[in-house]
Amino acid sequence: MPVLAGIVAALGYGPGDAQQRSTVSGRLTVLDADNKQARDVGQAVVWLEGATAHAVTPDTVSVLMSDKEFRPRVVVVPVGSVISFPNDDPFNHNVFSHAPEATFDLGLYGRGHERPQRFDEPGVVRIYCNVHPRMISFVIVRGNGWYTQPSADGAFSISGVPPGSYTLHAWHERAEMVRQPVAVTAQGMTGLALELDARGYEWIQHTNKHGRPYRSGRRY
């Protein structure tokens, strides 16, 4: 099970101004099978979730399908954002998701075409191609702007956070999400140390959009 390895924070519990905006920062470690930092720690996502309402501006994003991959593999967007899926391959793709936050099927389309999808509910949305079983993308939909992806060494920083009580989340596709309550003061939080355990990860083939195994023997 993944654990929150530790929180080392200089908190300084002084009176917080409701208009103050603080920074929450630290480092995330994703442990792979060799007990070393995962090379793709930058594909993780760290975010804060709180009771305070926070308006977000929807975005328009493109996730390219090229060489039988979604690029980028992981994308984080605010609620209400629209993601377009252009096909750059010389064969057809069929983008779909069975996630409860966004269930859709964009149908089959070829090179030079793209189709959009709007994401209205927060959550982790897994997206697949009905033609190519190894293709997968992750759309992390957030209801506030307090999120980030770590750098290559795991360092992360979330700015513009009002003082208050939050749940800190850390997610990676190969590790179970961690959740930890934190109290952000006017001085912010620094030195957070988070750990996700991906050492027991095993890849399991998902089913196609009809809930059945993919057909073998495809030419591409």
For residue 142, which of 79, 83, 100 has the smallest C-alpha distance? 79
Contact call for residues 81 and 122 (beta carbons, < 8 A): no
Check residue 7 and give its pLDDT: 32
For residue 76, which of 64, 59, 88 has the smallest C-alpha distance? 59
Please identify every stretch of the chain with a pLDDT value under 50, giving residue numbers as ranges: 1-18, 219
Domains of the chain: 6-54+147-197 (2.60.40.10), 60-141 (2.60.40.420)
CB atoms within 10 A of CB 42: 17
Check residue 55 and give its pLDDT: 84
Over residues 64-121, the pLDDT tens digits come to 999 999 999 999 999 999 999 999 999 999 999 999 999 999 999 999 999 999 999 9
Check residue 8 and give its pLDDT: 30
- pTM confidence score: 0.88
Check residue 184 and give its pLDDT: 95
